[in-house]
Structure 1
Amino acid sequence: MLSRRNLLKSAAIAAAAVSGNVSLAQNGSQKFSLGYAPHPGMFKHSAGRDVLDQIRFSADQGFTAFEYNGLPGETPEMQEKIGNLLDQRGMQMGVFVAYASFDKPTFTRPDDASTAEIMTAMKSAVEIAQRVGATWCTVVPGSVDQQHPDSQWNRYGGRRLADGYQTANAIDMLRRCVDVIEKHDLVMVLEPLNWYANHGGVFLQQSDQAYALCRAVNSPSCKILFDLYHQQITEGNLIENIDACWSEIAYFQSGDNPGRKEPYTGEINYRGVFDHLRSKGYTGVIGMEHGNSVKGVEGEQKVIEAYRMADAGASGRPEN
């Protein structure tokens, strides 16, 4: 989002580059080559429970971004503090969740109430983004249309819209969202979610489906959040699918499978994936939307070490 805050941030980063300090975090730790973004709670044992202290700790470890799904739940004053601190530490704000519905067909079979709820959420997202200097916000566009509470029940189930009509309704609603946010340079990123381990019944599952929606909406403010964990479960073939919908991807999230923990706890070749993003010139954020495989300070250090190992390939630097 173009704002005074972002202009000041760009100037600060440029000044740091001139002085030769841009590659180092404040405590001397080398900055990561890609924009990995921790989230609140990931380093709570090392930094304490205060979100601002967790941002400071993340910056000290070399992270250059921070994401916060639950940011709308913070007060406007706290949102301002978060934005100011990110500026001071030269960090990017990652996604926050502007709107998410997992069990109601709010996009695929909207009614007046759900439409009003979505529009209110998008207007609020603009205000939040301005406070923290955010460019992206996450949208989860509801569930598929199944048995509806207002449909007459029979032993075969109730009425259900055909898939094509559901998709058309979703496109219409996404265009209404764009009408709210595009003039403010805010980008909603649509996140496909898996049905098999976490979110059975959601409308948006696959990367090609997200690609088709974004092409239909045809706006720079409607793009894809490609979550590597979810897409490994749903479809695999990560690198080829990333390439196929590259023009519509604005944001990535990470997490290994099975377990949804840090890299190298599951089956995904994260060094290979991050190398590929680097080779394509990706300079955006990679949200670390996963848990820690080990509890406590030890587990938090293990997360940092996992990203150092994965980043070594992506940066061309040798491993420690």
Structure 2
Amino acid sequence: MSDIRLAACAEMLFCDLDFLDRVRRIADRGLLVEIWDWSTKDVDALAASGAEFSSMTGYLTGDLTTPDGIAALLESAAASLPIAERLGCPRLNLHGTGLGEGGLPVRPVEVVTPQMWLTAADTLHRVAELGAAAGRTFVLENLNLAVDHPGTPFARAADTLALVRAVDHPNLRLNLDLYHAQIGEGNLISLVTEALPYIGEIQVADVPGRREPGTGEINYRAVADALRALGYDGVVGMEAWASGDSDAALDAFVAAFAG
């Protein structure tokens, strides 16, 4: 058996409220809170909110493979670590490259070369070392290319898993996003089974629409049963838009993953 903890992304719920009130509404339900870009937030107010944070974006700019992009990524990852400490946030999220307006990559890549794979692994090792020194874990998130993030390198779950395996560092894990994985690859229960030793966190939303569990094609109750059978005792975070009322969306999420 496992003891799964649940989180919700404050960027996508209670959107009629100011951000601090969104965080409080999620925390009042006993859920962990996920946030994105910390540089746009009142960090002191968040730290005083009483919320427990699960993950936050761990960089502001940069990429894994170009000289200037690597320098920017390492600099902004280092700048993110004191914020994570201030918030008590254990995990900092990364992507294959910086994302800009509408979630599109700031540097689209058509072909990922063997040298880019080697460089990305080296960069991630350097990021993991930063995390180790600060007592935090960076998590590499898979994305989908077909709907939300075309042109993003190292986007598929198979790609992020290959990189995390290659780096093999305890301060670099996967943020395994099952919404993105369903669009790009499917076969979710086999995926979580294979990736289990490398998972730092799991994120969920239904397909299509990126809304709460129960609004689309994914059988999240079966996924939850599989995670418990595997002994997964980490965090599952809902990174999804509400199809209607945000509290009702959270009710559906909690119901899908309740033991």
Give the TM-score of the pair, scaled to structure 1. Answer: 0.71
- Equivalences for residues 98-137 of structure 1 within 5 A: 98-99=58-59, 106-108=63-65, 110-111=66-67, 113-137=68-92
2: CA distance between counterparts of 1:260 and 1:249? 21
Name the structure 2 match of 1:150: none
SS of equivalent residue, structure 1 residue 179: helix
1: CA distance between counterparts of 2:33 and 2:228?
Answer: 19
Pick closer, same or farther for the CA change 1:305–1:274 going to 2, 3 Å: same
Residue ranges of structure 1 left out of the alignment (5+ in a row) = 1-31, 148-159, 316-320
Displacement of 1:33 in angstroms is 6.2
How far 1:187 moved relative to its partner?
A: 0.8
Aligned length: 249
1:71 and 1:79 in contact (8 A); partners too: no
Q: Would the alpha carbon gap of residues 136 and 146 (structure 1) be closer, same or farther in structure 2, given more than 3 Å must change?
A: closer
Shift of 1:125: 1.5
Q: Is the 8 A contact 2:7 2:54 kept in 1?
A: no
Residue 250 of structure 2 is aligned to residue 304 of structure 1: yes
- Distance in 1 (CA, whole Å) between partners of 2:86 and 2:204 is 26
SS at match of 1:94: strand
Q: Work out which of the residue numbers 41, 47, 68 in structure 2 matches 1:80.
A: 47
Pairwise CA distance, 1:50: 4.5
CA RMSD of aligned residues (A): 2.3
Q: Secondary structure at the match of 2:231?
A: coil
Residue 184 in 1 paired to residue 134 in 2? yes
Match of 1:288 in 2: 238
Shift of 1:252: 0.7
1:94 aligns with 2:70: no
State the Cα deviation string for residues 171-229 of structure 1 (Å, max 9, x = none): 11111212222121211110111100000111122222222211211211111111010
Highest Rg: 1 or 2? 1
Asked if structure 2 preserves the Cα contact closer than 8 Å seen for 1:205 and 1:234, the reply is no
Q: Structure 1 residues 259, 166: closer, same or farther in 2, change over 3 A?
A: same
* Aligned: 1:54 with 2:22: yes
Map of 2:203 onto structure 1: 253
Change over 3 Å in CA distance of 1:100–1:266 after alignment to 2 = farther
1:160-239 matched pairs, under 5 angstroms: 163-239=113-189
Percent of aligned positions that are identical: 29
* In 2: Cα distance, 1:304 partner to 1:209 partner: 30
Assess, with a 3 A threshold, how the Cα gap between structure 1 residues 306 and 79 changes in structure 2: closer, same or farther.
closer
Structure 2, gaps ≥5 residues long: 98-104
